[in-house]
Structure 1
Amino acid sequence: MQPSPNNEGRSLIQNKKKWTSIFNRNSEWRGKIWIYGSAIVVILSVIAITLFLTVQGLRSFVVDHINVIDFITGTEWYPDRAENPSYGALPFIFGSLTVTILAAILAAPFAIGSALFMTELAPKWGQKVLQPVIEILVGIPSVVYGFIGLSVIVPFMRTHVGGSGFSLLSGALVVGVMILPTITSISADAVRAVSHDLRQASYALGATKWQTIYRVVIPAAKSTLLTAIVLGMARAFGEALAVQMVIGNARNLPNAISDPSATLTTIITLSMGHSTTGSVLNDVLWSLGLVLLIISYGFILLIRFISRRGQIS
């Protein structure tokens, strides 16, 4: 007896539903494996980098018996001295923190002002003008920033401020321009996230646009704006090449922001090629990298703290 066409149709439909269900279940499992696998790879990568840098960075204290306090607070860096070489990292820690703070002070007002212009004053055409500019600034390589700083900022500082022109301030100006897009983008998102009802309530009470921006929008987005600034500082703290070209790479503590200095990243890049694996200098450079990592983790903890306080308030 031949099956009827209706039975054949129902059988095909059932088989199709069966295989579709199996395919959907397999797709769901593949998606879960991909997502969880990606998260595990990222976590393991961070743990591996941290452990590797910690082990390498502690060698100078454990194997080479360099005093930790002298390393952190020492102001003399003469690793190539034949007798009594000194490894004082304080000038480089000071230089890194100073360049980072100055860059944030210089960039934050312009970045937040640009974000407010794009979102509050000219949301239609302001973003069309500023967004491409921000994208261009992000895409410029750091060596180009350094070369522009070497060609423009250093001669300007030499003529109008004095000295050689290679200074902390020159490095801060270059890095400030580099972190400007980061702070601007996050600040613009923070301002857009402020509820429109708050603005309408302010206007209903008779406030002007500037009063609303100053007394309503900025306080409401304060925690995220601070997070944007700290993220920009974290970006500035790890910059090496552009800063290296304009800061002067001096080994001593500067007396003013117009004096040459060096940062943790610049001294590592300058010295790593002249050290051999297993030597005292190589171990000390790894210790500088460990200090850099610890301070970077400090920026991350500060961001988490600011974000948590913003959620609580």
Structure 2
Amino acid sequence: MIVTSFAVMVLSTLIALPIAIGSAIFAVEIQPKFGSKIFQPLIELLTGIPSVVFGLIGFHVVVGLMKSVFHVSTGLGILPGAIVLAVMILPTMTTLSVDGLRAVPDSYRQGSLALGYTRWQTIWHVVLKSAMPSLMTAVILGMTRAFGETLAVRMVIGGIEAMPTSLLSPASTITTTLTTSMAVYAEGSAQDDVLWALGLLLMGMSLIFILIIHLIGRKGAKARG
């Protein structure tokens, strides 16, 4: 369950990160009017969609796609769970990335262009580097949500409490096991103690993510100072 939780979290972040950064660059640097009036409001609307909707779409679309493409029996596993999670964390990561790029002073861009940098060199070497603390915060927050998400993942990952052998073998994360097993085992049993230990581990990981965000924020504040 620990291996599956980290595998889903890392894979979903790797899928969503380039899309979020690319979308933020487009909305801020390439088409700022379109980004502020149309793109960002649409992205923010996606954050209000319930998890069960993502789970239903993932079960009927992503799982079906896994069956047809990889010719597996169930189509459930880490890969469809990571794809669904990537779609879920994408609005959060994109919104925070957009805010981070907009916070970069225009004088940085103007100074870079005055020194002879091209537009893309300015974006890559100046804007993204200046916004790196905000972008790292977006990544960590996306990973935090991916690590703690339950319902949508439960619908597409399979719910089998076993060590995954591939990205398309049914498995279970810490959160899905807690939601499905907490009311099954008797209080005081060994299985119940294991579930409480998993809950403590989940809380500890959340605290670690929060501490990382604070450290990144402090380093960003020192760099700006």
User: Which bracket does the TM-score occupy, shorter chain normalised?
Assistant: over 0.9
Q: What is residue 267 of structure 1 aligned with on the other side?
A: 177
Percentage of identical aligned residues: 49
Q: Among residues 110, 121, 124, which one is paired with 2:33 in the alignment?
A: 124
Give the SS at the match of 2:159: coil
Structure 2 residue 190 is the aligned partner of structure 1 residue 280: yes
Deviation at 1:274, TM superposition (A): 1.2
Distance 2:133 2:41 in 1: 26
Deviation at 1:285, TM superposition (A): 1.1
Give the SS at the match of 1:146: helix
Deviation at 1:206, TM superposition (A): 1.9
RMSD: 1.3
Q: What is residue 198 of structure 1 aligned with on the other side?
A: 108
Distance 2:52 2:128 in 1: 35
Q: What is residue 95 of structure 2 aligned with on the other side?
A: 185
TM-score normalized by the length of structure 2: 0.94
Distance 1:251 1:280 in 2: 16
Distance 2:123 2:154 in 1: 39
Q: Among residues 123, 126, 130, which one is paired with 1:220 in the alignment?
A: 130
Q: What is residue 133 of structure 1 aligned with on the other side?
A: 42
Instruction: Point out where structure 1 has 5 or more consecutive residues left out of the alignment.
Output: 1-91
Task: State the one-letter code of the partner of 1:128.
Answer: K
Give the SS at the match of 2:37: helix
Distance 2:181 2:36 in 1: 43
Deviation at 1:255, TM superposition (A): 2.0
Distance 1:172 1:121 in 2: 29
Task: State the one-letter code of the partner of 2:42.
Answer: V
Task: State the one-letter code of the partner of 1:143.
Answer: V
Q: Among residues 78, 83, 104, which one is paired with 1:168 in the alignment?
A: 78
1:220-247 Cα shifts (integer Å, max 9, x gaps): 1112101110011001111000000001
Q: Among residues 147, 160, 170, which one is paired with 1:237 in the alignment?
A: 147
Structure 2 residue 121 is the aligned partner of structure 1 residue 211: yes
State how many pairs are aligned.
222
Matches within 5 A, 1:76-91: none
Task: State the one-letter code of the partner of 2:114.
Answer: A
Distance 1:308 1:136 in 2: 30
Please identify the structure whose Cα radius of gyration is greater.
1
Deviation at 1:113, TM superposition (A): 1.2
Q: What is residue 8 of structure 2 aligned with on the other side?
A: 99
Give the SS at the match of 2:33: coil
- 8 Å contact kept, 2:160–2:171: yes
